Amino acid sequence: MPQVAVMSPDGSVNKIDRDSNEALAALRQLTALMLKAALHDQFPGIRLGDAVADDSQFFVDSDKDDQQVSADELEALEVAIKGLAKNDTKVDFVKMSVEDAVKEVAADPFSKELIEEHAEDGQVAMYQLGNIKAVAVAPVMVYGNVVKNYRLLSVAGAYWKGMSSNPMLQRIYGTSFFKKEDLEADLQARQEAKERDHRVIGNQLDLFFVDPKVGAGLPYWLPKGATIRRVIERYIIDKEVGDDYEHVYTPVLMNLDAYKTSGHWDHYREDMFPPMDMGDGEMLELRPMNCPSHIQVFKHHIRSYRDLPLRIAELGMMHRYEKSGALSGLQRVREMTLNDGHTFVTLDQIQAEFSKILKLIMDVYKDFNINDYTFRLSYRDPKNTEKYFANDEMWEQAQRMLKGAMDDLGLDYYEAEGEAAFYGPKLDIQTKTALGNEETMSTIQLDFMLPEKFDLHYIGEDGQQHRPVMIHRGVVGTMERFMAYLTEIYKGAFPTWLAPQQVNIIPVSEDKHGEYADAVAKALKHLNIRAKVDHRNEKMGYKIRESQTQKTPYTLVVGDDELANQAVSVRKYGEKEQTSMSQADFTAMIQADIATYSREN
């Protein structure tokens, strides 16, 4: 296997396998360093910030007095990088005093800050390439001639150090590979990702928007997006109510003391918004999680063993203190609505309730056509039980029950020792995104700790007080993230039952057929089918093409023949052929489509 020379931030050089992830990261770090050199040479006086490589790409931050680097200038920068690579550029290691290093970048506050940040004992390690020196922060390939297959991808704005209080810099993204075919495959995957990006599709289909001027990370759901969300919410509530959940509404504000009792204030304070001082000693907090609220619902009445399992569910709004640089469309937001639920059970009821929740989750997945998922069952570390909630008997019994439930259902699963939360074992259901990435969609989490912290109890058959076990469960996560997931999975072509507009009706002639088109729409709306008539003064071909662009499941054209026969000409999304059928037959067809969640029989 061929090897390549890689320099570490301490100046040592080692040979590593070219096909390793470490070598690929070092290649991208070198390409980023070359981009810094190209920017330095082409734009005198430019200020250079971070140059970071990860497992998929690299980026370089910069700032100029005049107009920032534009996408149109990326090609010229690629040529400059090619010139550096052809000239057999080599990276050298330099150790400098902080004073000397700062002098070299006197006019660049960002480079100065990086130097001071990484200085040790008055010195700083630097990489030198061409006419620039940059702080050595990550391993880098030594010889520039390995940089052959690369591409500068895009430009974007990024706050310095990811903080909105800092200046906005220009971030240039790129990627680099050893093999040409790997680069081509990556670019193709990126194009697919761009076409599936829920932010792009959300804009094209007018589903939602986020405007940093009125609140970063706070999405506005437009009528079409709100329609899809409403369908999902009604669906999930009906499913849960049918599964014996009691749905509630609880406030988004809560006394800070509740989060101190729960432990959220101690463990998650950095993710919580600052408390609001009400002026009389009361401190209110925007809730980051719903569990303390549902605990209050449990505590509101004296509970008997006959009440258990007690299932409480809510589409609960929560707030997280996310940094501006971490926000992304609907996937990472500051305000979110969680499809949340908590069940309070006796210890003996854990296995049956766990199975019931899991069946609900899989049933929901089936309706949304989510088929690619795996199960991850997490236990405590048997060699380090001290860091978990102290009740060995409860842990052993609970883990045995969860495993038994999975086995009884005949499901394959991965057992992960040491990955349980400190308050109980859990099951994570991992789904694949449209681009093949793995993320946790659903969780079933046992909790022995919160019932103790909040002193929860029920009256047992023996007339004595007993401590319940709490089960946290999320079926589809937050509405925001689930919407992003579905948008990318469906590529914006939502199945009929979810589509914001299910039928688009186009009259051939507004004067002759507009009234009939309205009658068809009225009849469909009466059956709760989302139909609209396109009355715009545009050519019919344009209207049909736009209906396809908007990914409407059914486009109906009505003209003389349709009016005479009380029929419609039907064109399904993605198909070129039109089929004539009676209104009754079309109504029966679309009703069946909706009733079966657009699944093929």
Distance CA 454, CA 434 (A): 41
Estimate to the nearest angstrom the gap between the alpha carbon of 530 and the chain centroid.
Answer: 28
| Among candidate residues 456, 66, 477, 494, the one with its CA nearest the CA of residue 261 | 456
Which residues, listed in sequence order, are joined to residue 311 by a DSSP beta bridge?
A: 343
In this structure, what are the phi and psi dihedrals at residue 420, rounded to the nearest 5 degrees?
Answer: -70, 155
Rg (C-alpha) for the chain, rounded Å, is 29
Distance CA 276, CA 256 (A): 9
CB count in 10 Å sphere of residue 447: 22
Bridge pairing between strands 310-319 and 246-247:
parallel
Annotated binding-site residue? 300:
no
Cβ pair 4, 15 in contact under 8 A: yes
The angle formed by the CA atoms of residues 385, 391 and 392, to the nearest 5 degrees, is 60
Q: Contacts for 204-209 with beta carbons within 8 Å, 24 or more apart? A: 204/492, 204/549, 205/492, 205/500, 205/550, 205/551, 207/483, 207/487, 207/500, 208/330, 208/483
Cβ pair 258, 282 in contact under 8 A: no
Bridge pairing between strands 531-533 and 414-417:
unpaired
Residue 111 tokens, joined:
């480079």
Cβ pair 328, 282 in contact under 8 A: no
Annotated binding-site residue? 264:
no
Distance CA 312, CA 326 (A): 32
What residue ranges in 331-413 does DSSP mark as E strands?
335-345, 373-379
Per the annotation, binding residues are 291, 342, 472
Per the annotation, binding residues for Zn(2+) are 291, 342, 472
